Amino acid sequence: MELATPRHIGGKEGEAMKSRGTTIWCLLALVLGVLVATAAVLTILKDSDFFKKHRTPSHPINKNYADALQVTLQFFDIQKSGKLVDNRIPWRGDSGLEDGEGNLDLSKGMYDAGDAMKFGFPMAFTATVLSWAILEYGGQMNAVRQLGYAQNSLRWITDYLINAHPSETLLYIQVGDPELDHKCWERPETMSERRPVTQVNASFPGTEVAAETAAALASASLVFKNNDPAYSSSLLMHAQQLFTFADTYRGSYSISIPQVREFYNSTGYGDELLWAASWLYHATQDDSYLRYVTELNGQSFADPETTTWFSWDDKLAGVQVLLSRIIFFGSKDMPAIENIHLQMYRKTAEAVMCGLLPDSPTATSSRTDGGLIWITEWNPLQYAVASAFLAILYSDYMLTSQTETLYCSGNSYKPDDLRNFAISQADYVLGANPMKISYLVGYGSRYPQYVHHRGASIPVNAETGCQDGFKWLYSENPNPNIAVGAVVGGPSLNDSYSDTRNNVKQGEASTYNSALLVGLLSGLLKTSSVVLSYT
């Protein structure tokens, strides 16, 4: 649009008008100058790390998933041990303040599930998944004001993991005695039983737990790299030391410490070594870690013929998707031998994706009639949510890299097909299931009322000891405290669910379930792309 030419006015009025006109033109010039300068600044900011890592989504936010994410993140506050800071949960208080030994402070960290145990192996996995979710979808979390809560929860765990690694070949992996702990039913704030600590070391190695902890700290170092460089450097140093420890002193912690088998038995450590090395490569760009997962151990630790289910115990599917990222976004100048091995990982990742798509020729039959991926009667939702999280990641890798097609035995699929699968699993969890119940506690109008969780089941003002608290386990009344954000174990193969407090298989929640759902929901907030590089 052209500006109108002012009409000529003579005399004093004309001079006044000219003066005002000159002032207006000066103001317009100043405004235009500011706009040009602002545009230049925004162009610079657009290319900055802040915008790359926390850009505001351009598509509308899905409110249902945003609400569910806000609910999910509260479970980490429920599970916190130690001296609580900015406590959002009115029925939780300080606990585990004396955890550790001597000058070793293990008061932080998170209780694993419905008890008061701190198991390092699944806790570290929780941290790794939270880091991955933040690195990929931090911008979307930020858009719904949940990024700070996710980062704070992650740091509560990593602070503990750093303390649990006081020297290069020593890692504390457990606080509490499961046998003693499970003989009690009491709130963490009032627990009085002995809480011994358990370690792995050079004489009694624990490769999988040391490697998973390395993965957690390496991925977290990327999360905190820009806003706390000193903390990030400390995380990375511990991660590198733990990886060396895990790889040098190879041995399963299930063999070194047989008592862990009943609770978090490991089926092998090759996947954790690949997982840790993959994260260390992303954190350092050191080619030695890339060679570790390709030339040195690609064939021996990764079986491309075996489809695995991503979980706290088995990281192979996660490794395949994470390493596929390099092929999608950064393999141009890579040596041929490493590229070949990475293509193997991507091929296997594609096989995993094809198995998840319900109408693929190679679709897994491990599903309920309601469409949920279902692997085992113990905590089945872990596998469904984990599969959906990997699917939304792979979909967004395809979308960002403009990879249009995924081929499954001759049939072609689009990124939206993977996204739709991920949506189906998320919606099932949130209530679109035969039981019409939300398996995310605190979300929707109907969700489990009898979650297997000590703190939730016992009134805050109840005076109970170790043994007499069991009356609350067997009480017929709903939990007096809502375990907001808990993702319970989930339904049976026939899509049924029994909401009883002593139904541990279906009704107990865990931090890693919630971490996986955080990743899935964050990816579903909008049709999205991901950052090209974590660094």
| 49 and 146 assigned to the same domain | no
CA distances from 534 to 51, 354, 531 (A): 13, 27, 7
User: What mean pLDDT do residues 310-326 have?
Assistant: 96
> Collapsing DSSP states into helix, strand and coil, what is residue 104?
strand
Of 25-39, 158-172, 189-203, which range is least confident? Answer: 25-39
Domain match, 43 and 92 both: no
| CATH number for 159 | 1.50.10.10
Which band of pLDDT confidence, cut at 50, 70 and 90, is reported for residue 53?
very low
Residue 442 zone, left/alpha/beta (φ > 0; ψ -120 to 50; rest): left
Q: Are residues 453 and 501 in the same domain?
A: yes
pTM of the model: 0.89
What pLDDT, on a 0 to 100 scale, did the predictor assign at position 32?
Answer: 36
Angle CA 181–109–83, to nearest 5: 95
Q: What is the mean pLDDT of residues 84-94?
A: 96
Helix (H, G, I), strand (E, B) or coil at 248: helix
Are 300 and 373 a contacting pair, CB within 8 Å? Answer: no
Q: DSSP 3-state assignment of 176?
A: coil
Does residue 37 sit in the same domain as residue 82?
no
Same domain, 32 and 88: no
pLDDT of res. 331: 67
The per-residue pLDDT for 304 is: 66
| 68 and 46 assigned to the same domain | no
First-to-last alpha carbon distance for the chain, in angstroms, is 44
Percentage of the chain exceeding pLDDT 70: 88
Q: Is residue 15 part of a domain?
A: no
* Alpha carbon distance 442, 72 (integer Å): 9
Locate the DSSP E strands across 167-227. Answer: 170-175, 197-201
Spatial CA neighbour of 152 closest among 75, 76, 253, 235 = 76
Q: Given this model, what pLDDT does residue 465 score?
A: 86
In a domain, 431, yes or no: yes
Q: Decide if 408 is inside a domain.
A: yes
Among positive and negative, which fits the CA dihedral 297, 154, 83, 382? negative
Are 144 and 224 in the same domain? Answer: yes
Average pLDDT on 158-172 reads 98
**155 and 166 in a common domain:** yes
Instruction: Looking at the structure, tell me whether residues 408 and 458 fall in a common domain.
Output: yes
Is the pLDDT score of 288 beyond 80?
yes
Establish if 154 belongs to a structural domain. yes
Place of tokens 């393999």: 331
Q: Which of 304-313, 363-372, 409-418 has the lowest mean pLDDT?
A: 304-313
**Does 12 map to a domain?**
no
241 and 186 part of one domain: yes
Residue 49 above 60 pLDDT?
Answer: no
Is the separation of the CB atoms in 415 and 398 below 8 Å?
A: yes
The span from the CA of 524 to the CA of 512, in Å, is 18
Residue 4 inside a domain? The answer is: no
Of the three residues 12, 34, 54, the one that is the final residue of a domain is: 54
Residue 14 within a domain = no
- The pLDDT value recorded for residue 332 is 66
Q: Do 37 and 103 have their domain in common?
A: no
**Which of 54, 74, 98 delimits the end of a domain?**
54
Q: Which domain holds residue 37?
A: 20-54
Q: Say if 94 falls within a structural domain.
A: yes
Catalytic residue flag (residue 452): yes
Q: How confident is the model at residue 528 (pLDDT cuts 50, 70, 90)?
A: confident
On the CB side of 298, CA atoms within 13 Å amount to: 19
Q: Is the pLDDT of residue 34 over 60?
A: no
Mean pLDDT, rounded, of the chain: 89
Q: How far apart are CA 251 and CA 132, in angstroms?
A: 27
Counting the structural domains of the chain, the total is: 2
- Which one is catalytic: 54, 165, 452, 453? 452
The DSSP-derived string for 378-416 is SSTHHHHHHHHHHHHHHHHHHHHTT---EEETTEEE-HH
Q: Report whether 400 contacts 343 (CB < 8 A).
A: no
In a shared domain, residues 43 and 63 = no
